[in-house]
Amino acid sequence: MITGKTNCVGILGYPVGHSLSPVMHNAAFEKNQMDYVYIPLPTAPTDLKTAVSALKAWNFCGANVTIPHKVAVMEYLDEIAEDARMIGAVNTITIRDGRAIGSNTDGIGFIASLRKADAPPEGGRAVLLGAGGAARAVVWGLLQNGIEKITILVRNIEKGLDFAKRFASYGDINVYTFNDTDAKEALRTCTLLVNTTPLGMAPNLDAMPEIDWADVAADAVVYDLIYTPLMTRFLCEAQERGHLVINGKDMLIEQGAESFLRWTGREPHRPSMEAAFDSFWASRQKND
Ligand code: NAP
């Protein structure tokens, strides 16, 4: 029951109706028997500054931030944590002593999902397909967790080089176009191959990145950040060739779990979050 003492968190986005976060977090609050509520806060871009002030005025514990505010929100916050600075986007706001602190839990979520699949990053060689916002989180997570080498394959080399510059002083990062001969060498020796492009995401189920599986190390773990569908064409083809495959569902749950921890100081009940994810998608698919 929501009472006058209930602690509030929410999500700033526009729109927010598609977001899985309210169901996942409210399921965990209920299971954990915590007096918290997670509220959708649809916020037009022109109202973003006011919304951040309102989080403080209403004594919220914090909020998630989603499209289109992940970058724009930074100028309205009192402090930006290193993870958000390196990733270049905020997905979590924590209110402490009246100050709004922006951070980003996507990198931690990615690493936690690798560990859950028994595919730890330490000493590995990763190849990422694409260099957008999610790739920045993946790279930051890998660099913080002992990856030996990262190769990024892109269609636009200028954008890719710009991306790599951001992280160059933190580790061994190379960028090539998809059909470069050095790209093939990186694929042959990688331990982890990650699709960070939206290719294959519903409704474009036939799409997938340009990869010749003959080039990919036979024992590489193959990861797709997409979680709709759970098995993209990219993952299906990898699985047929015997690769261990991981989809984006656990990263989504784990980034949420880390936000939950930052707001409340407690670990959420993850099976409840996962069950909420599953039933949300089942009902969405029935209604589509
Ligand atoms: P983004 O910022 O738009 O970046 C997309 C990247 O993919 C860019 O580098 C883009 O290249 C590249 N790309 C797009 N189409 C391509 C094509 N046809 N061929 C080659 N490269 C192509 O998107 P994002 O926010 O990083 O999200 C990417 C995916 O990750 C989405 O499917 C999203 O749902 C998923 N995601 C999952 C989680 C999770 O928790 N599981 C979290 C975040 C994101 P250009 O720069 O050249 O356009």
**CB of residue 201 inside a 6 A radius of ligand 1:** yes
225 CA to middle of ligand 1, Å? 9
Tens of each residue's pLDDT in the chain, 288 residues:
999 999 999 999 999 998 999 999 999 999 999 999 999 999 999 999 999 999 999 999 999 999 999 999 999 999 999 999 999 999 999 999 999 999 999 999 999 999 999 999 999 999 999 999 999 999 999 999 999 999 999 999 999 999 999 999 999 999 999 999 999 999 999 999 999 999 999 999 999 998 999 999 999 999 999 999 999 999 999 999 999 999 999 999 999 999 999 999 999 999 999 999 999 988 877 776
Could you tell me the two tokens for 164? 């790599």
* pLDDT tens-place string over residues 52-68: 999 999 999 999 999 99
131 CA to middle of ligand 1, Å? 7
**CB of residue 235 inside a 6 A radius of ligand 1:** no
* pLDDT tens-place string over residues 183-198: 999 999 999 999 999 9
Please check whether residue 96 is in contact with residue 239, taking contact to mean a CB–CB distance below 8 angstroms.
no
Nearest to residue 196, comparing CAs of 234, 162, 165, 161? 234
Q: Is 165 a catalytic residue?
A: no
Percent of the chain with pLDDT over 70: 99
271 CA to middle of ligand 1, Å? 27
Catalytic residue among 56, 70, 159, 286, which?
70
Order of strands across the sheet with 36-42?
A: 36-42, 7-13, 62-65, 92-96, 99-103, 79-80
Average pLDDT, the chain: 96
